[in-house]
Every structure is written in structure tokens, then in C-alpha cells.
Amino acid sequence: MPFFRKKRLFIILIGIIILVVLIGFSLKGRDQLSTPEQFIKDTVGWAQSVVHTPVKFITDIFTNIDDLKDTYKENQILKEKLSQSKSLIYEVQEIKEANEELRKALDKTESIRDFNPIQATVMSRTPERWVEQVTINKGKQDGVRSNMAVITADGMVGKIQTVSQFSSTVQLLTGFDQFNRISATISREEGNDIFGLIEEYDKETNSLLFKIIEDSETDLKKGELVVSSGMGGVFPAGLTIGTVKEVVPDQYGLTRTALVEPAADMFEINNVIVVDRTLKENDKAESVQEDKE
């Protein structure tokens, strides 16, 4: 019997050692997944896409019933908004044309605003709620690379964390920590833009923390739109991130932090667009560093 006891203890100790080694391996900040991991992710991803379709169908029925209840009211509001936005569309079109002409005149064709969209569908969401991740059905073969921004029609939802051949993992904005920064801006007239960094997601207030770098004369107002500035070298400019909810001084009282409510719905994410920035950063190391700072 003592022999068995020893053997049992031995196995548990080996188990703990394996645990520590594996955690150490996975936490050293790697960008690339190992080949077996990619293979398993793709296999499971394929099976997930098979299972996801019927589940989606059923959940859609319930959502549709909920939606039907609000249809009339929404329709009224939308009709009002539509008439307003029609004039806006013409204005935007004209401005776009003018912008293009001016760019041509300057011989400047590339812009940090340009990106190639890669359409993707969300297949699963991680059951471990401390890790905010979703899996999408596009991978390396479709041109997805790590650190690309992921948006929905409403705004930014996250960035690509790891890619395998046919699927990839998206880290949601709600899972951002101090290692994932987005350089962002609040657009103002006459060059009074406010620049800053989206630093992390605060779980207590359910909002992103937008640290303002420079001191600006005008105060931030509630409801102002925060967009990505493209200065980080990874994401293109002009992606909607969220709206300002509240402005608070930071813990040292020197700078101010805006609490930003994400524009996109972090719960119901179905179809996403992976944003492939057209303008490539020359110094790739620098861009990675900025993003992973």
C-alpha cells in the first residue's frame, strides 16, 4: 500500500509540473500558434460551424419574436431618421468626391483610412467568461493576420488575437487589458482634435478607459464619438469605437480619463468584418511594439 501512495503522489506532482510548464509556454506572449494547436482549432472550428447553424436558427426565432414587439415604434423613429440622413448622404458623397480630387491633385493615393474588409461569421464564444474571446471562420488562408481590427456595422468589437489556417480568435474590447492599446481620437473642428489612448476595459463601470494625452482647452462632452486615429500603425483611422459616457480625473489628478461606452453590442455579435489596413507600416516591429506596449 505505501508503494501505491507514493506512486499516486508522484503522478500528481508530475501533473503539477506539466501544468506549470504548459502555462509558462502559453503565457510568454507568443504571436503564432503551434501547428498542433492550429490543427485542433481548425478541426473544432469546422465542427462548430456545423453545430452553430441549427443553434443559430433556434435562437434567431426567439430574437425575432422579441423584435416583432418593438417593430412599430422603431419604424416610426427610423422613418424620421431616414429623411434626415438622405440629405446627409448627398453631402457626404460630395465631400468624398472633393476629397478624392484633392488627393489626386496632391498625388497622394494611399491613406491610413483605407482598408480591405474581410467578411467573417462568428462561430462560437468561449464559455470561460474571464477570457473574452470569440472564434470566427476566417483564417490565414483568407488573409487574416494577428492584430487586425475587427468591426461590426456599429463599431469596433476587438482585434485578432491568434490565427490558424481556417479560423481565428478575436479578443473582444471587453477583454482588453493594459497590454492592448488603441490610439484613438475625438474629432473636433479646426484641428482641435483630442488624441489619446484606449487603455483597458473597466469591468466595474462597463466602459473603456480613454486616457487623454494632451491637455485640451475645451472639455469633453458627454456623447461625443471616439474613433480610432490610425496613429498606432496597426488599425486604420476612422473606426468607431464608442461614445463618451463620463469624464473623470485619473488617480493622480494630472490627466483626465474618459469612460467610453463601446458602440458595438458585445453580446450579440454574428457577422463581423476583419479590417486589413491597406497602408502597411514600414517598420513592422514598431507597430507591434506600439500595440503590445
Rounded-to-integer distance, Cα 40 and Cα 46, Å: 10
- If one asks whether residue 13 binds other proteins (CB under 8 A), the answer comes out as no
Question: Which range touches other proteins (CB under 8 A), out of 33-41, 83-91, 99-107, 241-249?
Answer: 33-41
- Out of 9, 13, 16, 98, the only residue in the binding site for other proteins (CB under 8 A) is 16
Q: Which residues contact 201 (CB under 8 A, 6 or more apart)?
A: 173, 174, 175, 176, 177, 207, 208, 209
In whole angstroms, the minimum distance from the beta carbon of 215 to other proteins comes to 31
User: What is the footprint of other proteins within residues 249-268 (CB under 8 A)?
Assistant: 267-268
Q: Residue 260 Cβ, how far from other proteins at the closest point, in Å?
A: 17
Question: Shortest approach of other proteins to residue 110 CB, angstroms?
Answer: 34
Of the candidates 163, 172, 112, 113, the residue with the CA atom closest to the CA atom of residue 142: 163
Span near other proteins by CB under 8 A; candidates 54-62, 95-103, 219-227, 228-236: 54-62
47: contact with other proteins by CB under 8 A: yes
The answer to whether 134 and 170 have CB atoms below 8 angstroms apart is yes
Residue 148: closest CA among 280, 16, 293, 13 = 280
Q: How far apart are CA 197 and CA 228, in angstroms?
A: 9
Decide if residue 40 touches other proteins (CB under 8 A).
yes
Under rule CB under 8 A, residue 205 binds other proteins: no
Binding status of residue 213 toward other proteins by CB under 8 A: no
Quote the cell numbers at residue 14: 508530475
Q: How far is CA 69 from CA 63, 65, 229, in A?
A: 10, 7, 39
Task: Verify binding: residue 22, other proteins, rule CB under 8 A.
Answer: yes
Q: What are the residues binding other proteins (CB under 8 A)?
A: 12, 15-16, 18-23, 25-27, 37, 40-41, 44, 47-48, 51-52, 55-56, 59, 123-131, 133, 135, 161-162, 169, 267-268
